[in-house]
């Protein structure tokens, strides 16, 4: 029988080169993820394989190297920057005698820490339970025995079956609650559409500066920090630019290899992005891996059905690159890219002008001014 080890906070990281490229960038991102989860990085084990080992993912020789790193650095948890199967996770924990988690479980843990709204907590719990469902079988020794003592033994439901049933009931309840919240969101969305309100969503790679930009434009005071997934819950605020009425939404940041369980759980929230009139794709212009980050964001947008939504690239953090605030246009004078710094405010006026231009093109000058004036009068009253 196998008893799952306790978790820890002193992490040994494992990054294997399976031919996916950008290994150093991936490892750097993993360190940030582990730090965001509240653990400390005590050691790193790297290697190269043509394909994952079916039993231990890393192979027996590399697992011995990981065990030595655990002993040498007094580590108590191993974090793989890969997706592990339930069997591989159990086999690794047997060999290493410590908790082993993969990239998916790490991101789920961070999301669980960051969730603040009722909907966000429900979405994270749903993703965690669906991830856990595949890891119930032979995961804990208490699941292998029927509960009871003298006079209670015999045919009946085993603990494993009980846990499966309870987990299934909880998942069903969470999906029902989230469906109700999505129904309420659709009602609010239809109301905005009837009032000719331009819906704009901030999207981008995690830690690109979306929340800082959101606060700079709306004075909302939303939480912003130099860490991955600092913002999880979607926040919306009204913004007036050039007499036009705009609803700006700050969404959860994306990341490469975003777990499908999270995309599915956050589908309702992410649909708000797919229904937007415009996406402001915030890019960390100071990041060495920015091109790969842009591609990763576009892949997630395609997965949630938002690939066809008009998009403007917001080249953020020009204060770090010493670039000048500017607007770049493409074919037919179409807005393509805006260079600014959300932290210093340089270039924010260019972004406001761009939003006013899009609102004018979408609804017309008269509709935008009339709607904005009516809303201003209603707020004053």
Contact 106, 35 (CB under 8 A): no
pLDDT computed for residue 331 by the predictor:
85
Per-chain mean pLDDT for the chain: 80
d(CA 4, CA 12): 18
Confidence of residue 269 (pLDDT cuts 50, 70, 90): low
In which region does residue 282 sit, left (phi positive, over 0), alpha (psi from -120 to 50) or beta (all else)? Answer: beta
Contact 12, 71 (CB under 8 A): no
d(CA 311, CA 337): 9
- 4 pLDDT higher than 90: no
* pTM greater than 0.85 (yes/no): no
pLDDT computed for residue 143 by the predictor:
43
pLDDT in tens, 46-95: 999 999 999 999 989 999 999 999 999 999 899 999 989 888 998 999 99
Question: Is the model more confident about 338 or about 364?
Answer: 338
Contact 245, 197 (CB under 8 A): yes
- 253 pLDDT higher than 90: no
d(CA 313, CA 275): 18
Name the strand (E) or helix (H) holding 26. Answer: helix 23-37
pLDDT computed for residue 162 by the predictor:
67
* Beta-carbon contacts of residue 187 (< 8 Å; ≥ 6 apart): none
43 forms bridges with which residues in the sheet? 12
Confidence of residue 217 (pLDDT cuts 50, 70, 90): very high
pLDDT computed for residue 139 by the predictor:
44
C-alpha to C-alpha distances, 12 to 93, 146, 228, 235, nearest whole angstrom:
13, 36, 19, 35
Contact 225, 261 (CB under 8 A): no
Instruction: Provide φ and ψ at 79, rounded to 5°.
Output: -115, 115
What percent of the chain stands above pLDDT 70?
A: 76
pLDDT computed for residue 227 by the predictor:
59
pLDDT computed for residue 343 by the predictor:
92
Contact 255, 107 (CB under 8 A): yes
Question: Is the model more confident about 112 or about 116?
Answer: 112
Reading the block at residue 164, the tokens are 């499966």
- In 10-142, DSSP assigns E strands to 10-17, 40-48, 77-80, 99-101
Give the DSSP letter string of 147-206: ---TTT-SSS--HHHHHHHHHHHHHHHHHHHHHHHHHHHHHHHHHHHHTTPEEEEEEEBT
Beta-carbon-side half-sphere exposure of residue 240 (alpha carbons within 13 Å): 10
d(CA 330, CA 302): 22
278 forms bridges with which residues in the sheet? 200
> Lowest-pLDDT range, 76-90, 182-196, 202-216, 276-290?
182-196
- 198 pLDDT higher than 50: yes
> Lowest-pLDDT range, 169-183, 242-256, 363-377?
363-377
Name the strand (E) or helix (H) holding 130. Answer: helix 118-133
Confidence of residue 374 (pLDDT cuts 50, 70, 90): very low
Contact 42, 11 (CB under 8 A): yes
Residue with tokens 């892949």: 299
What percent of the chain stands above pLDDT 90?
A: 32
Question: Is the model more confident about 196 or about 355?
Answer: 355
């Amino acid at each position: 029988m196998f008893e799952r080890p306790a978790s820890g906070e002193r992490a040994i990281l494992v990054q294997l080169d399976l031919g996916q490229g950008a290994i150093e960038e991936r490892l750097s991102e993993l360190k940030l993820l582990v730090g965001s989860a509240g653990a400390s990085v005590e050691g790193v084990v790297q290697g190269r394989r043509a394909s994952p080992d079916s039993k231990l993912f890393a192979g027996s020789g590399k697992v011995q190297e990981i065990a030595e790193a655990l002993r040498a650095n007094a580590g108590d948890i191993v974090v793989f920057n890969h997706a592990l199967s339930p069997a591989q996770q159990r086999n690794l924990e047997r060999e290493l005698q410590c908790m082993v988690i993969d990239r998916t479980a790490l991101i789920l843990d961070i999301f669980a820490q960051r969730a603040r709204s009722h909907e966000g907590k429900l979405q994270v719990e749903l993703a965690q339970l669906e991830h856990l469902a595949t890891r119930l079988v032979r995961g804990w020794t208490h699941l292998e025995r029927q509960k009871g003592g003298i006079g209670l033994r015999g045919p009946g439901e085993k603990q494993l079956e009980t846990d499966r049933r309870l987990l299934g009931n909880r998942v069903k309840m969470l999906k029902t609650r989230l469906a109700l919240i999505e129904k309420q969101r659709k009602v609010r969305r239809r109301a905005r559409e009837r009032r000719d309100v331009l819906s704009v969503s901030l999207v981008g790679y995690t830690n690109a500066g979306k929340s800082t930009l959101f606060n700079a434009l709306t004075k909302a005071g939303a939480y912003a920090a130099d860490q991955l997934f600092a913002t999880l819950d979607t926040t919306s605020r009204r913004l007036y630019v050039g007499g036009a009425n705009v609803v700006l939404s700050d969404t959860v940041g994306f990341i490469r290899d975003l777990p499908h369980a999270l995309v599915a759980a956050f589908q309702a929230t992410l649909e708000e992005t797919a229904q937007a009139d415009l996406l402001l794709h915030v890019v960390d212009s100071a990041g060495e891996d920015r091109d790969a980050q842009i591609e990763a964001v576009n892949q997630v947008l395609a997965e949630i059905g938002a690939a066809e939504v008009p998009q403007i690239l917001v080249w953020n953090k020009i204060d770090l690159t010493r670039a000048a605030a500017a607007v770049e246009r493409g074919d037919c004078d179409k807005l393509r890219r805006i260079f600014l710094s959300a932290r210093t405010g340089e270039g924010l006026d260019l972004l406001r002008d761009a939003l006013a231009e899009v609102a004018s093109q979408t609804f017309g000058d008269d509709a935008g001014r009339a709607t904005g004036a009516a809303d201003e009068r209603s707020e004053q009253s």
